[in-house]
Chains A and B, each alone.
Chain A
Amino acid sequence: MAEAQNIPAGSTTAGSIAVAAESTVATRMSAPPSFDVADFPVPHGREEEWRFTPLERLRGLHDGTAVATGEGVKVEIEAPEGVTVETVGRDDERLGRAGTPVDRVAAQAYSSFEKASVVTVAKEAVLAEPIRIAVHGEGGVAFGHQVIELGAFAEAVVVIDHTGDAVLAANVDYVLGDGAKLTVVCVQDWDEKAVHVAQHNALVGRDASFKSVVVTFGGDLVRIHPRVAYAAPGGSAELFGLYFTDAGQHQEHRLLVDHNTPHCTSNVAYKGALQGQDAHAVWIGDVLIQAAAEGTDTYELNRNLVLTDGARVDSVPNLEIETGEIAGAGHASATGRFDDEQLFYLMSRGIPEIEARRLVVRGFFAELVQQIGLPDVEERLIAKIEAELEASV
Chain B
Amino acid sequence: MATLEIHDLHVSVEAENGPREILKGVDLTIKQGETHAVMGPNGSGKSTLAYSLAGHPKYTITGGTVTLDGEDVLEMSVDERARAGVFLAMQYPVEVPGVSVSNFLRTSATAVRGEAPKLRTWVKEVKEAMEKLHMDPAFAERNVNEGFSGGEKKRHEILQLELLKPKIAILDETDSGLDVDALRIVSEGVNRVRETGEVGTLLITHYTRILRYIKPDFVHVFANGRIVESGGAELADQLENEGYDKYVKGGASA
Interface residues of A (CB under 8 A from B): 1, 339-342, 344-353, 355-356, 359-360, 362-367
Contact = CB atoms under 8 A, between A and B. Distances in A.
A136 B111 CA distance: 42
A350 B82 contact: yes
A345 B90 contact: yes
Contact of B96 (A350, A363, A366, A367): A363
Contact of A360 (B90, B96, B100): B96
B86 to A, nearest CB: 9
A1 B79 contact: no
9 contacts: A340-B57, A342-B94, A342-B95, A344-B57, A349-B108, A349-B111, A351-B111, A352-B79, A353-B79
B42 interface: no
Nearest to B79: A347
Contacts of A339: 94
Given A340-B57, A349-B108, A352-B111, A360 B82 contact: no
B78 A347 contact: yes
Interface residues of B, number: 31
Which of B55, B88, B94, B103 has the most chain A CB within a 10 Å cutoff? B94
Contacts, number: 82
Contacts of A347: 77-79, 82
Given A340-B57, A363-B99, A351 B94 contact: no
The 7 A-B residue pairs with the shortest CB-CB distance in the complex, in nearest-first order: A363-B98, A349-B108, A350-B111, A350-B82, A345-B94, A347-B78, A350-B112
A250 to B, nearest CB: 26
Contacts of B77: 347, 353
A356 B96 CA distance: 10
A350 B83 contact: yes
Contacts of A362: 98
Contacts of B55: 348
B104 to A, nearest CB: 7
Nearest to A359: B99
A367 B94 contact: no
B22 interface: no
A355 B108 CA distance: 10
Contact of B103 (A342, A350, A359): A359
Interface string B65-106: 000000000000111011100011010011111111001100
Contact of A348 (B54, B95, B98, B144): B54
B157 to A, nearest CB: 10
